[in-house]
Amino acid sequence: MDKIYVIGVGPGSPDYITPIARKAVQNAHLVVGAERALSLFLEDIKGEVLPLTGKNVGEALKYAIESAKIGKTVAVLSTGDPGFSGLLRPVLNNITEDVRVDVIPGISSIQICAARLHICWDEIDLFSFHEGASHEKMMRLAKAVKEGRNVMLLPDPKSFPPNEIAKFLINNGISKETPVVVCENLTLLNEKIIMGTLERVLKLDLGPLCVMVVRGRH
């Protein structure tokens, strides 16, 4: 049967890869993923490998779908969990024919951040800016913070990094003393948790792998 597995590979450490994810990769004829994701499965991959980059996503996913249509089992590796700022949406958007998609969830950086900070994450507002920082979404973020809600978000390292988020919130009437936590490189050896305020975040130069928590007024 034509099948594509969209596999969550966790936040970065191999310790957070699930056994079922490894099994699916081991059985795949084709494995598609970013270099960082592929490196977590060097001992598991037995089939063809197609590295995924920011420029070839559409082309690579079309090749994956065509491979599934001719009977190959395909594994698409998605950082974190495929359903939160992951590859599930682009995979589904590229499927035009009857190809079965199975999703193997993974542990996301959002979950790790919540665990590190002892946050019950069913009580916070979640935002992801990985697919762009639209004005509408940015204003929804400001509104949530103004209303005193706790917010956890994935910044975009290029268009909307943490220091730009802090600047935007301050410029939209939110106190520069608002508490903020930034978790960088979660589960990796250089993991760092920075506690401060919006004003402090203005001055930080952070890497691309981070989660930001903004505490509401209440």
| Residue 5 in this model has a pLDDT that exceeds 70 | yes
Question: Using an 8 Å Cβ cutoff, are 21 and 106 in contact?
Answer: yes
Cβ density class 162-198: b for 16+ within 10 Å, e for less: bbbbbebbbeeebeeebbbbbbbbbbeeebeebebbb
Residues 159-165: what's their mean pLDDT? 94
Which band of pLDDT confidence, cut at 50, 70 and 90, is reported for residue 218? very low
Which band of pLDDT confidence, cut at 50, 70 and 90, is reported for residue 175? very high
| Residue 196 in this model has a pLDDT that exceeds 50 | yes
Residues 162-190: what's their mean pLDDT? 96
CA distance 98 to 215: 45
Q: Where are the domains of the chain?
A: 3-107, 110-214
Give 86-131 pLDDT, tens digit per residue. Answer: 999 999 998 877 789 999 999 999 999 999 999 998 989 999 998 8
Residues 159-187: what's their mean pLDDT? 96
Residues 50-62: what's their mean pLDDT? 93
Identify the pLDDT of residue 217. Answer: 56
Identify the pLDDT of residue 216. Answer: 76
Identify the pLDDT of residue 98. Answer: 76
Identify the pLDDT of residue 95. Answer: 84
State which fold the 110-214 domain adopts.
3.30.950
Instruction: Quote the pTM value.
Output: 0.91
Bigger pLDDT: 115 vs 217? 115
Same fold, 3-107 and 110-214: no
Residues 33-40: what's their mean pLDDT? 96
CA distance 33 to 29: 13
Homologous superfamily in CATH for domain 3-107: Tetrapyrrole methylase, N-terminal domain (3.40.1010.10)
The token pair at 34 is 């970013």
